[in-house]
Chains A and B, each alone.
Chain A
């Protein structure tokens, strides 16, 4: 490599580094914003393995702590959990969109948190013919995933834990 092109390469490397610094600084407030509005999309997408005991996943995925308020938003966001598509949810803004799954009001009085977690992670463990999407199924179970979704789960582990945390607050109203 001659002297001229070495200089060019160094110049590019330097410019790239400068660009990186500028972009990181610009992105920092975005991260803060994401944390403030509770978006967990930018969060870590690594796959945390899980174990089933008696139809329950007792340990939170990756030991993560779910935030119920965030879970409610994920459940009703058609670009995230989209639980509305099939379930009636006990949220103020609820409209009727779907009934393929049961209504989720009072679910925490019917099921343990570990069971709720297994439903969200992989409902085929309860019903091999379920129509419920695989929100956190193991990759080896999946077939012909489109390239841009390969190696990713429908919901991140944090999103699963947020939704589970919200569902765990849905206790049945005591009957008078």
Chain B
């Protein structure tokens, strides 16, 4: 029996759905093996938990003014607003640039607690960011772009689509066209940022999003940008919006 008009229409709709389905936003979690997913979900076995604990210690440690992060945000960050955490990067009007969660932690550390400022790439900054972000585990990423952030979003999108290095590949060509494909024995993800800071299985370290981008650029034999640079902040804005709707998984496990 040949398919009638309805059958053909249905087939066409199914095809359309499959095409749209391919563009569905998926967390890097979806591309992990079941064993790796189990490891991420295991609160005690997850190796990224070490960085969370280190951040927790710093969070509770008194600063130069005899105050700690806990003085304002509660013991263990009990008063932190997970919805707000999920909305970073925000716009920082004082410096006219995006404010990432790490940037916020660094500001509090120096300005509120009166501590000597930490470098953006400082290990302690990463630990604090990891701890704070882990308090919002399960919250839905919701980065909003206003007219102030728009230019940074646009710059970030442009960078995401720019080829880099001697290898001459952009983020976009791997993570937009080939997510789900196999490369060097590993499954490529969509390059979503919801799990970061994340524990990288291949290096055995917890890394923030910017450190992860630096690792990508280095493997492309490109000159990375400095931590906290406008280029990386813009990429974080663009990638944050790309991950809207996904759940925060920090500390996630990634390859």
Of the listed residues A130, A133, A141, the one surrounded by the most CB atoms of chain B closer than 10 A to its CB is A133
Residue A10 is within 8 A (CB to CB) of chain B in the complex: no
Residue A3 is within 8 A (CB to CB) of chain B in the complex: no
Given contacts A85-B183, A98-B185, A129-B173, contact A143 B178 (CB under 8 A): no
Given contacts A144-B222, A144-B223, contact A98 B182 (CB under 8 A): yes
Smallest CB–CB gap between B112 and chain A, Å? 37
- List CB contacts (< 8 Å) of B161-204 with chain A: 162-169, 173-174, 177-178, 181-185, 188
Find out whether the CB atom of B169 lies under 8 angstroms from the CB atom of A98.
no
A144 to B226, CA, bound (A): 13
Find out whether the CB atom of B166 lies under 8 angstroms from the CB atom of A129.
no
A137 to B163, CA, bound (A): 12
Residue A99 is within 8 A (CB to CB) of chain B in the complex: yes
Of the listed residues A99, A130, A131, A134, the one surrounded by the most CB atoms of chain B closer than 10 A to its CB is A131
Residue B218 is within 8 A (CB to CB) of chain A in the complex: yes
Residue B221 is within 8 A (CB to CB) of chain A in the complex: yes
Find out whether the CB atom of A142 lies under 8 angstroms from the CB atom of B183.
no
A143 to B162, CA, bound (A): 8
Smallest CB–CB gap between B255 and chain A, Å? 14
A75 to B79, CA, bound (A): 56
Find out whether the CB atom of A99 lies under 8 angstroms from the CB atom of B182.
yes
Q: Which residues of B contact A149 (CB under 8 A)?
A: 165-166, 221
Q: When the two chains form the complex, which single residue of A86, A130, A145 contacts B183, counting CB atoms closer than 8 Å?
A: A86
Given contacts A85-B184, A98-B183, contact A141 B178 (CB under 8 A): no
A99 to B183, CA, bound (A): 7
Residue A171 is within 8 A (CB to CB) of chain B in the complex: no
Find out whether the CB atom of B168 lies under 8 angstroms from the CB atom of A144.
no
Find out whether the CB atom of B165 lies under 8 angstroms from the CB atom of A142.
yes
Residue A147 is within 8 A (CB to CB) of chain B in the complex: yes
A154 to B220, CA, bound (A): 11
Smallest CB–CB gap between B134 and chain A, Å? 33
Residue A33 is within 8 A (CB to CB) of chain B in the complex: no
The contact string, 1 if C-beta is below 8 Å from chain B, for chain A 116-144, is 00000000000001110110010001111
* Listed A/B pairs (18) with beta-carbon separation below 8 Å: A84-B184, A97-B183, A97-B184, A98-B181, A98-B184, A100-B178, A129-B177, A130-B173, A131-B174, A143-B164, A143-B165, A143-B222, A144-B222, A145-B166, A146-B221, A146-B222, A149-B166, A153-B166
Interface residues of B (CB under 8 A from A): 162-169, 173-174, 177-178, 181-185, 188, 217-218, 221-223
8 closest Cβ pairs, A-B complex? A134-B168, A131-B173, A149-B166, A133-B167, A85-B184, A149-B221, A97-B185, A144-B222
Taking A143-B168, A144-B223, A154-B166 as given, write out 19 further A-B residue pairs in contact, using a Cβ cutoff of 8 Å, ordered by the A residue number.
A84-B184, A96-B182, A97-B184, A99-B181, A134-B168, A142-B163, A143-B222, A144-B165, A145-B165, A145-B221, A145-B222, A146-B165, A146-B166, A146-B218, A146-B223, A149-B166, A149-B221, A153-B166, A154-B167
